[in-house]
Amino acid sequence: MQLALPERARDLIDGPHTAILATPNRDGHPQSSVIFVKRSGDTVVFSTIRGRLKTRNMERDPRVSLLVLAHPGRYVEIRGRVDITDDPDKTLLGEMYERHMNGATPPPEPDAERVIVRVHPEKVYFWPPLPAAAERNAHA
């Protein structure tokens, strides 16, 4: 069941951050990737390339863990499932470079098949932790 992102998570994702995506490899071991993310309503989106290990992992098993780290020392972990759609115009990639790379132009990728990955939150954890009542609501 998808959760609404708490305001605290929205603020952290909307601000400057580093994001790490963990996906399960075929053998069950985690595979981690540093990625650019942005919020889209109550979901988190990112761009990647079809055929990459993380993409193959998510196509096989849509469960992910996304850690969004703000400095100094605040983070939100979002566990959920993803859906993947094609992005033939590489629109999201351009938006990510605008946001995270000070407007730099993305490198040419003439043969890359870009996709948009949307993370649907099912569990949300914070550091520093929320007070007990707020935490129960975030994990409902």
Domain boundaries, the chain: 7-138
CA dihedral 97, 43, 61, 33 (to 10 degrees): 30
Interval 92-132: pLDDT, tens: 999 999 999 988 889 888 899 999 999 999 999 998 886 66
Give, rounded to a whole angstrom, the gap between the first and last alpha carbons of the chain: 10
CA distances (Å), 9 to each of 13, 88, 117, 119, in order? 6, 30, 18, 13
Sign of CA dihedral 7, 71, 67, 59: positive
- pLDDT band of residue 25 (cuts 50, 70, 90) is very high
Question: What CATH topology corresponds to 7-138?
Answer: Pnp Oxidase; Chain A (2.30.110)
**pLDDT value at 135 more than 70:** no
pLDDT in tens, 32-91: 999 999 999 999 999 999 999 999 999 999 999 999 999 878 999 999 999 999 999 999
